[in-house]
Amino acid sequence: MTTLPPLRDVIQRHGLSASKALGQNFLFDSQLLGRIARVPGDIAGANVFEVGPGPGGLTRALLGEGANVIAVERDRRCIPALAELGEAFPDKLRVIEGDALEIDAPSLFGSKPHIVANLPYNVGTALLVGWLSADWKPWWASLTLMFQKEVAERIVAAPGTDAYGRLAVLSQWRSHARIAMAVHRSAFTPPPKVMSAVVHITPADAPDGVRFKVLEALTAAAFGQRRKMLRQSLKPVPGAINAMERLSIDSSRRAETLSVDEFVSLARLLS
């Protein structure tokens, strides 16, 4: 790692000024990057899928931990800088120029990768929902993703809190989600307007007999009118009122009071 040129020099040499259109906010602090790279645990010899490596700060840290990295980056300007990094870590880094929202990522890996990404928030959320809604068991070993702090809080939220909603239920019904670390806005260049946090998600067994689509429809209806009683908000979901009765769930409750397990039980009856 010590033989690598400073990241800021790489950026200057390759003319990688951060593009607002591509949602680029770069991280340079090698200690911070090392901490993020260690969130998935020991990745020495493991496969890592990095989305949006940019100039390669996090990529360096992942390679430094001994991972085999496949990285997909949309910004063509970054590819030569990443190729240089690949030369310093022979056979450990493969860079693909492309859009992570379109690439067939599972086909790139022989064994389950850890996914690690510091992405624009809209892209990160779209990818997360895609990864969580795909067939279970998933093709990845864990997710380590940077989000706007508020979105991170929604992913890990507990019932009864303002942050609890669809994203919490869909993230937690067959995964464990936790906030691994907070990241101050000043750590980024340029600094974004909001604070960030790294979320770590590991898959768990899916509960028997529950279809994702049903849980999705149920949570969309319930949290679409979160201030209303469930007997009102779940009216459009066929069979939901009856299912609540069968499970002795009081229909005067509101969506945010239902635990993830209660949503899962309802979805099971409707699946």
Binding-site sequence positions for S-adenosyl-L-methionine: 25, 27, 52, 73, 99, 118
Residue whose token pair is 């989600």: 177
Would you say the C-alpha torsion 200, 204, 208, 212 has a positive or negative sign? positive
Strand 93-97, strand 175-183: pairing: unpaired
**69: contact with ligand SAM by CB under 6 A:** no
**23: contact with ligand SAM by CB under 6 A:** yes
* List of residues 6+ apart from 249 with CB closer than 8 A: 230, 258, 262, 266
Residue 242 near residue 189, CB atoms below 8 Å:
no
Q: How many residues at the interface with ligand SAM, by CB under 6 A?
A: 24
Closer of 74 and 154 to ligand SAM (Cβ): 74
**72: contact with ligand SAM by CB under 6 A:** yes
Among 10, 11, 27, 70, binds ligand SAM (CB under 6 A): 27
Q: Using the 8-state DSSP alphabet, how is residue 105 labeled? A: G
Closer of 104 and 208 to ligand SAM (Cβ): 104
Residue 270's CB is within 10 A of a number of other CB atoms, namely 18
**75: contact with ligand SAM by CB under 6 A:** yes
Question: Would you give the binding string for ligand SAM spanning residues 100-129, x where CB under 6 A is met?
Answer: xx----------------xxx--x------
Please identify, among the stretches 66-74, 164-172, 174-182, 228-236, the one whose residues bind ligand SAM according to the rule CB under 6 A.
66-74
The Cα–Cα gap between 56 and 85 comes to 8
Among 39, 40, 43, 57, binds ligand SAM (CB under 6 A): 57
**32: contact with ligand SAM by CB under 6 A:** no
* List of residues 6+ apart from 234 with CB closer than 8 A: 218, 221, 222, 240, 241, 244, 251
The Cα–Cα gap between 175 and 159 comes to 16
**198: contact with ligand SAM by CB under 6 A:** no
Minimum distance of ligand SAM from residue 99's CB (angstroms): 4
Among 40, 53, 86, 165, binds ligand SAM (CB under 6 A): 53
Closer of 127 and 218 to ligand SAM (Cβ): 127
Minimum distance of ligand SAM from residue 89's CB (angstroms): 16
**54: contact with ligand SAM by CB under 6 A:** yes
Helix (H, G, I), strand (E, B) or coil at 195: coil
**85: contact with ligand SAM by CB under 6 A:** no
**97: contact with ligand SAM by CB under 6 A:** no
**73: contact with ligand SAM by CB under 6 A:** yes
Helix (H, G, I), strand (E, B) or coil at 185: helix
- The long-range contacts involving 80-87, CB below 8 angstroms and separated by at least 24 positions, are 80/14, 81/10, 81/11, 81/13, 81/14, 81/16, 81/55, 81/56, 82/53, 82/55, 82/56, 84/10, 85/4, 85/56, 85/59, 85/60
Instruction: Report the interface residues with ligand SAM, using CB under 6 A.
Output: 22-27, 51-54, 57-58, 72-75, 78, 99-101, 118-120, 123
